[in-house]
Structure 1
Amino acid sequence: MMFQTLEARFVVGGFARGLELAGRIGQVAEEIGHPPELDLRSTTVHVRVISRDVFGVTRRDLELARGISAAAEALGLRADPTGIEVVELALDTPDHAEVKPFWRAVLGYQDHPLHDREVRDLAGTGPALWFQHTDPHDVPRQRFHLDVRVPPELVRPRIEAALAAGGRLVSEEHAPAFVVLADPQGNQACLTTGLGRD
């Protein structure tokens, strides 16, 4: 269990075998009436099970997980726990309410439905960003910054949303490759595109 989800990765050895497993998972999901989230790659199938209506694991998720395990076992496949990880980003801040609107705007995320100190991609694709309380301090020497790669046509609306959320424009010197923004506490993020790069 990975906080609000059940996750498993199956090493399938080839794309055709992965499609076969995905098909069997689809049959189980149809029978239960509850779809999982699948990531099919050339040699693996990653499965995430969550009830997004309650943003957590319910009995139907457990039933679906058991069905998925049985479908994989019928194909001679076992889950590989070494491939499971969830990346979350944490930002130290003395006042999360001040910076949260900026990060929600830059990332194109939404508020977590259950946790006030977190914004996330509710579709489950991008990593969550949560705000860890710290004592007030001067503008930090940032230990990390986010590069948020978006289609070029989304850069301007994201900039405008970030500025409206209390952010500031630091630099457009390297646009359209990237634009640097900062939240009200000076933490920076870059909106990047594939344009203007060598």
Structure 2
Amino acid sequence: MGRMDVEPITPQQFHDADGVDDWRVLYWGAHAFFRATSYAQAARFVAAVAELAAPTRHDPDVDLRREGVAVKLITRGIRNLSTRDIELARRISEAARDLGLDADPSALQIVQAAVASPPSADVTPFWAAVLGYVRPNGSHLVDPLRRNPSFFLQREDRVAPGRGRMHIDVSVPHDQVYARIDAAVAAGGRIADDSFAPEWWTLADAENHGVDITTWWGREAVRLEEQREQ
């Protein structure tokens, strides 16, 4: 389908919808994890998801493990959430209940590495080659099969030539973020910057390595192009 065939929605609109309590908006989509009691039960659920998606031509990303099944929904034509994602999320949750799988939002997270370098430097070809990733837009590199963490290429005036730096972004469910921050602080970290909260908090370990803990709060879209640039 083309861009004009669907209606984009914000993360807030997704979460305000009925029947999507199992789902959480993280980076680039709505995610759910359904715990299974066996690999066979999880496989039956995957088959049910495939049956639901087949007539819609709106295929989710599905990851089958013995612990359960992770599902990500996004409308690819617009690289954003749409009303189609709400409809399919409801039906997938119903299938999970019918097959005896329970949703576990606490298992959800998306990890991304952010590589900062001066605007004059072009390190993108190196990272694309060494990772075997593709470049969907000017600021990101992604695994073509969407299995592994993405890389955010961040142009930063404050970084001197030859002094590039990296940090990690961790996108977590909005209702899990404070517990995650508290756990990190209790484990020896500190909150280095909360001026952008609740969209993200910057934490640091004892050696001052940075991690941004992020949520969908404050985001109007989940498209790659609109991922915030620091």
Check conservation: 1:112, 1:119, Cα contact below 8 A.
yes
Who is 1:128 aligned against?
A: 150
CA contact (8 A) 2:140 2:150 kept: yes
What is the CA–CA distance in structure 2 between the aligned matches of 1:112 and 1:26, rounded to whole Å? Answer: 26
* Sequence identity percentage: 32
**1:144-159 to 2 correspondences below 5 Å:** none
Distance 2:75 2:120 in 1: 27
Q: 2:110 maps to what in 1?
A: 86
CA RMSD in angstroms comes to 2.2
- Relative contact order, higher structure (CA 8 A, sep 6+): 2
Taking the aligned partners of 1:67 and 1:97, their CA distance within structure 2 comes to: 47
Aligned to 2:163: 140
What SS is found at the alignment partner of 2:115? strand
Q: 2:37 aligns with which of 13, 27, 41?
A: 13
Aligned residues: 142
TM-score scaled to structure 1, two decimals?
Answer: 0.63
User: Using the alignment, how far apart are the partners of 1:55 and 1:122 within structure 2?
Assistant: 15
Whether 1:95 aligns to 2:119 is yes
Q: Does the CA contact (< 8 Å) of 1:12 and 1:44 recur in 2? A: yes
Unaligned residue ranges in structure 2 (runs of 5+): 1-24, 168-230
Structure 2 length normalisation: TM-score? 0.55
1:122 Cα shift?
Answer: 3.8
For 1:7 and 1:37, how far apart are their aligned partners in 2?
A: 9
The 3 A distance-change label for structure 1 pair 143 and 90 is closer
1:183 aligns with none
Q: How does 1:1-198 map to 2 (within 5 A)?
A: 1-95=25-119, 98-113=122-137, 116-132=138-154, 133-137=156-160, 139-140=162-163
Cα separation, 2, equivalents of 1:96 and 1:67: 48
- Larger radius of gyration, structure 1 or 2? 1
User: Deviations along 1:98-121, whole A, 9 cap, x unmatched?
Assistant: 1112212222222223xx222212
- C-alpha contact (below 8 Å) 2:117/2:161 kept by paired residues: no
For the 8 Å contact 1:18–1:44, the answer to whether it is kept is yes
State the shift of 1:96 in Å.
6.9
Tell me, in whole angstroms, the C-alpha distance in 2 between the residues paired with 1:13 and 1:20.
12
